[in-house]
Amino acid sequence: MDNKLMLMIPGPTPVPEPVLLAQAKHPIGHRSGDFGKIMAEVTENLKWLHQTQNDVLILASSGTGAMEAGIINFLSAGDRVLVGTNGKFGERWAEVAEAYGLTVETITVDWGKPLDPQAFADRLSADSDKSIKAVIVTHSETSTGVINDLQTINGHVKAHGALMMVDAVTSLGATSVPIDEWGLDVVASGSQKGYMIPPGLGFVAVSPKAWEAYKTATLPKYYLDLGKYRKDAAKNSTPFTPPVNLFYALQEALRLMKKEGLDNIFARHARLRAATRAAVVALNLPLYAPDDCASPAITAVMPQSVDAEQVRSVMRKKYDIALAGGQDALKGKIFRIGHLGFVSDRDVLTAIAALEATLIELGAEVTSGAGVAAAAKHLIG
C-alpha cells in the first residue's frame, strides 16, 4: 500500500505525529524573541539528554557535519590523532582527519567486531611525550550494529590526557552517554536518530578542556566554527540562519523525551534489542554482531540460506517495512533492523512477524510464529 511505510532503518527514524505537525507550522524570524525562547528551551533540554553542563551546540548539518566540526575545531594541521575503526563511520572520521592534514593513526578491527580498549591503552601509554592530541571513537557503529566499549576506552584516554571525541550518532538517546560523569570532551550526533525528528540538525557537546584546545587550534573553519555557535548560543541565537521548522520539531521531541524519562528510554531500547536479537536467533538467522557488543539501536543480520537483498525487497514490497542494507563491503550481505528512536514494542513484534512471513516466502526453514514468540518473551512482563 502507498503511504503506509514503516521505517525500521537506523535513520531517518520514525517521527511522532506531534513532531511532524510542529514542523508544519509557519516559520518565524530567527532573530525574534520567540525564536530565542525556543533556542533557550531546546538548549536546556539538550543538556538534559546529554547529561552534561557543557555547551551543546546546534548546527544546520547532517551528523557528519557535526562530527567534522567536533574534530576540526580543536586541532591543528599535523596533530596526531588516534581513530578507532571497525565500520564505515570510524573509517569516515579517519578520512575527515586526513582531509584536514592531521596525522592519523588507526586502531582497526574487522567490521562486526568491537574495538579492543587494551589496544588504545597500549598505544596511549607508549606515547610518552603526549603527542597524541585526540582519540576519536564511534560509540555505536551504525554500519555493523556494534557498540564499542566507550567507557573503558575513555578511561585510558583520560589517563593519557588526549581529547576524547565521540561519534554518538546512533547511541545518544538510545543508551546512556553520561558526558560529565565520564568526562567526554566532544560528542556529536544527528537529529534523525534517537532524537525522533527528521534529518537536518547536527549536535556537538563541547567540554571546557576542548574549549581550551580551541584557543590554539588552527585548522581553517567558518561555517563549522563552533566558537561562533557558542558565542551566539549565549544570547539564545545562532550565527547562521537556523532551520527554524526543525527547531520546532526538536522542541516538541525533547518534551516527549523528557516525559518518557532517560531511564525509560534506555530501558526501552535495551528491551527492543533483546527482543529483536532473540527473534532473529529463533528464525535461524545469524546475528552479525556478538551479544556482548550489540548496539541498542541497530541489529545487523547476515542470512545464509536466503539473500539479504531479497529479504529487504519482500519486506518493502509486501509489508511496507523498510530495512537497511549493508554498506560498502557488506552490501548485499547483511540487512539491518533499526530499533532506534520512536520505536515501540509493537513495532518490533510487527517487524518480526513480517520477517517470518518473508523468510517462509523465500523458502527458508523457519517455524512460523517462532520469531514472534521469542521476541514476546522479552516484552511481556
CB 302 within 8 A of CB 262: no
* Burial group, residue 259, by CB count within 10 angstroms (0-12, 13-18, 19+): exposed
* Burial group, residue 36, by CB count within 10 angstroms (0-12, 13-18, 19+): middle
User: Between residues 4 and 292, which has the closer beta carbon with respect to a copy of itself?
Assistant: 4
Q: Out of 37, 53, 95, 267, name the contact with a copy of itself by CB under 8 A.
A: 95
Site residues (CB under 8 A) for a copy of itself, limited to 42-71: 60-65, 68
Question: Cα separation of 341 and 174, whole Å?
Answer: 7
Cell numbers standing for residue 333: 550481505
DSSP 260-323: H-HHHHHHHHHHHHHHHHHHHHHTT--BSS-GGGB-SSEEEE--SSS-HHHHHHHHHHHH-EEE
**Minimum separation from the CB atom of position 92 to a copy of itself (A):** 9
Contact stretch for a copy of itself (CB under 8 A) within 173-181, 218-226, 251-259, 363-371? 218-226
Q: In Å, how far are 11, 46, 156, 257, 345 from 341, measured between CA atoms? A: 9, 15, 30, 10, 12
User: Between residues 92 and 271, which has the closer beta carbon with respect to a copy of itself?
Assistant: 92
Residue count, binding to a copy of itself (CB under 8 A):
53
CB 115 within 8 A of CB 154: no
**Minimum separation from the CB atom of position 118 to a copy of itself (A):** 30
Q: Does 212 bind a copy of itself (CB under 8 A)?
A: no
**Minimum separation from the CB atom of position 59 to a copy of itself (A):** 9
User: Between residues 39 and 374, which has the closer beta carbon with respect to a copy of itself?
Assistant: 39
Cell numbers standing for residue 114: 568491537
The pair phi, psi for residue 146, each rounded to 5°, is -100, 135
Q: Does 100 bind a copy of itself (CB under 8 A)?
A: yes
User: Between residues 124 and 233, which has the closer beta carbon with respect to a copy of itself?
Assistant: 233
User: Between residues 8 and 164, which has the closer beta carbon with respect to a copy of itself?
Assistant: 8
Q: Does 362 bind a copy of itself (CB under 8 A)?
A: no
Contact stretch for a copy of itself (CB under 8 A) within 29-37, 38-46, 268-276, 281-289? 29-37
Q: Out of 44, 53, 99, 130, name the contact with a copy of itself by CB under 8 A.
A: 99
**Minimum separation from the CB atom of position 11 to a copy of itself (A):** 7
Question: Cα separation of 109 and 138, whole Å?
Answer: 13
Contact stretch for a copy of itself (CB under 8 A) within 22-30, 120-128, 176-184, 372-380? 22-30
Question: Cα separation of 286 and 357, whole Å?
Answer: 17
Site residues (CB under 8 A) for a copy of itself, limited to 140-199: 190, 192, 198-199
Cis peptide leading into 220, omega within 30 of 0? no
Question: Cα separation of 366 and 351, whole Å?
Answer: 15
User: Between residues 41 and 149, which has the closer beta carbon with respect to a copy of itself?
Assistant: 41
Binding mask 297-336 for a copy of itself (x = CB under 8 A): -------------------------x-xx-----------
Question: Cα separation of 101 and 281, whole Å?
Answer: 45
Q: Does 25 bind a copy of itself (CB under 8 A)?
A: yes
Partnered with residue 8 across adjacent β-strands are: 323
Site residues (CB under 8 A) for a copy of itself, limited to 231-290: 240-246
Can you give the binding site for a copy of itself, defined by CB under 8 A? 5, 7, 9, 11-12, 14-15, 20-21, 23-32, 60-65, 68, 95-96, 99-101, 190, 192, 198-200, 219-225, 240-246, 322, 324-325
